Amino acid sequence: MDTILVVNAGSSSLKFEVFAIEGGLRKLLRGQMDGIDTTPRLRIKGSDGKVLADQGYLPADVPDLPSAMRIVGAWLRERHEGRLVAVGHRVVHGGPDYDQPVRINAEVLSDLERYVPLAPLHQPNNLAPIQAVLDRRPDLPQVACFDTSFHRGHSLVTNHYAIPEHFFAEGVRRYGFHGLSYQYVSGRLCEIAPEIANGRVIVAHLGSGASLCAISQGRSIESTLGFTALDGLPMGTRCGQIDPGVILYLLEQRGMTPHEVQDLLYKQSGLKGLSGVSNDVRDLLAASDPRAAFALDHFVHRIGLHAGALAAALGGLDAFVFTAGIGENSPAMRARIAARLEWLGTRLDAKRNARGELLISTPDSKTRLYVVSTDEELMIARHTLKLIGG
Ligand code: AMP
């Protein structure tokens, strides 16, 4: 059995899934090495939910992503019966040029390293496992799939900031992210309701990272995310759209260092910063602290505002689609957001919403509401299979 390994590497964790190539793609297992360099733990589950591994390691044994990758590789060689034929990687930034996934070689890798300054917190983590595989198995085909690619068809007007042109040329432009999720959901919508998928759709990726994407005839035309994954909606710990003057104030008047500002905006803001309680919507919904309710009010308010902007970009709206952790699992949040969209012609069916059905709007709703589970890993596996000629 030939298999594809999909790798999604973050700052302190390495997530992975293995797919069998059998005509199509079948998910075999998923796993995660958490707590790299602090409290490393490898957990692996089969597609039936059976625990295949649950093992702790000493921090010294897993100090970084390459070592995590080696341990995962060793586990797969020992315990997994399939023959690994390719590895697909999630890479956050494909810069201005990569509008498609790409087969990796040394040249591509050094190209992708050029984008580290554009995504300093994510890109190095995404590239480290690629190098680790290259070092050990240079013969194994590897594919990079980018969070930015799906948005590369945006118009120049959309892509620009109103700052002098030479900054655009050096890469300071609106890229947009969560593209693998949007591409997957857009593809699912084609299967579910092709007439809608070919119309004007907003997909709301609402997870620990959150953004909206305006999709017209299956193509992204606008996104709430821009140069970095900080823009647009407030997220679990990220601030979302903020007046750049606030940053100047923090630097000049408060004397904060760039590193402190970065930490504030990426890790201490969003739902966590506003509530002072948690970055997790489940905790906030359950909390009695009024700041938790306030943070959720703010989140819903900002989603409504940005949905209005994206509907304007689309010139109307045929469907609004919820996806990712919050979008897929929280009827309460969907109901609150849907209430903000009523002026765009949506009417929520409360029962369908409570049951988490695919279509959650009423039959007479002018604009439809859907819940579609995203699957970025499957999207990466599909791209990888295609690029290795499967
Ligand atoms: P993701 O990044 O897509 O895995 O989403 C993670 C986020 O989804 C978590 O931080 C939670 O806030 C949210 N989430 C997951 N399940 C639920 C739920 N049942 N109700 C509300 N929020 C949820």
Whole-angstrom distance, CA of residue 290 vs CA of residue 283: 13
- Ligand 1 binding pocket includes 371 (Cβ within 6 Å): no
Q: Which of 111, 135, 147, 375 is catalytic?
A: 147
Separation of CA 281 and ligand 1 centre (Å): 6
Express each pLDDT in 137-161 by its tens digit. 999 999 999 999 999 999 999 999 9
Separation of CA 46 and ligand 1 centre (Å): 22
- Ligand 1 binding pocket includes 13 (Cβ within 6 Å): no
Strand order in the sheet with 14-22: 51-56, 41-46, 24-34, 14-22, 2-9, 83-91, 142-146, 102-103
Question: Please, are residues 284 and 295 in contact by the beta-carbon 8 Å criterion?
Answer: yes
Whole-angstrom distance, CA of residue 162 vs CA of residue 200: 27
Confidence of residue 223 (pLDDT cuts 50, 70, 90): very high
* Per-residue confidence (pLDDT) for residue 390, from 0 to 100: 73
- Ligand 1 binding pocket includes 270 (Cβ within 6 Å): no
Contacts of 377 (CB under 8 A, 6+ apart): 6, 8, 17, 27, 30
- Ligand 1 binding pocket includes 330 (Cβ within 6 Å): yes
Quote the tokens at residue 262: 């970065």
Q: Residue 13 — left, alpha, or beta (φ > 0 → left; ψ -120 to 50 → alpha)?
A: beta
Which of 119-123, 333-337, 372-376 shows the lowest mean pLDDT across its residues?
119-123
Separation of CA 325 and ligand 1 centre (Å): 4
- 119: three-class secondary structure by DSSP: coil
Strand order in the sheet with 210-216: 219-223, 210-216, 200-206, 319-323, 368-371
* Per-residue confidence (pLDDT) for residue 51, from 0 to 100: 97
The 3-state secondary structure of 78-108, one letter per residue: HHCCCEEEEEEEEECCCCCCCCCCEECCHHH
Question: Please, are residues 342 and 297 in contact by the beta-carbon 8 Å criterion?
Answer: no
Separation of CA 84 and ligand 1 centre (Å): 32
Is 364 part of the annotated catalytic residue set? no
Mutate to test the pocket of ligand 1, among 326, 329, 374, 377 (most ligand atoms within 8 A of CB): 326
Whole-angstrom distance, CA of residue 51 vs CA of residue 42: 11
Whole-angstrom distance, CA of residue 300 vs CA of residue 338: 9
- Ligand 1 binding pocket includes 324 (Cβ within 6 Å): yes
Res 204 pLDDT > 80: yes
Separation of CA 271 and ligand 1 centre (Å): 12
Res 263 pLDDT > 90: yes
* Per-residue confidence (pLDDT) for residue 119, from 0 to 100: 87
Rg over alpha carbons for the chain, rounded to the nearest Å, is 21
Contacts of 271 (CB under 8 A, 6+ apart): 234, 235, 236, 237, 278, 279, 280, 281, 284, 295, 296, 299
Lookup result for tokens 């995404």: 126
The share of the chain scoring above pLDDT 90, in percent, equals 94
Determine the atom of ligand 1 nearest the C-alpha atom of 374: 3
Whole-angstrom distance, CA of residue 379 vs CA of residue 362: 30
Contacts of 241 (CB under 8 A, 6+ apart): 224, 231, 232, 233, 302, 306
Contacts of 83 (CB under 8 A, 6+ apart): 1, 2, 3
Res 11 pLDDT > 80: no
Question: Please, are residues 25 and 19 in contact by the beta-carbon 8 Å criterion?
Answer: yes
Res 93 pLDDT > 90: yes
CA-nearest residue, atom 19 of ligand 1: 329
Q: What are the distances in angstroms from CA 229 to CA 7, 120, 372?
A: 20, 11, 22
Question: What are phi and psi for residue 327, nearest 5 degrees?
Answer: -60, -35
| Nearest alpha-carbon partner for 163 in 155, 174, 153 | 174
* Per-residue confidence (pLDDT) for residue 10, from 0 to 100: 85
Mutate to test the pocket of ligand 1, among 185, 205, 208, 355 (most ligand atoms within 8 A of CB): 208
Mutate to test the pocket of ligand 1, among 182, 329, 375 (most ligand atoms within 8 A of CB): 329
Confidence of residue 252 (pLDDT cuts 50, 70, 90): very high
* Per-residue confidence (pLDDT) for residue 120, from 0 to 100: 85
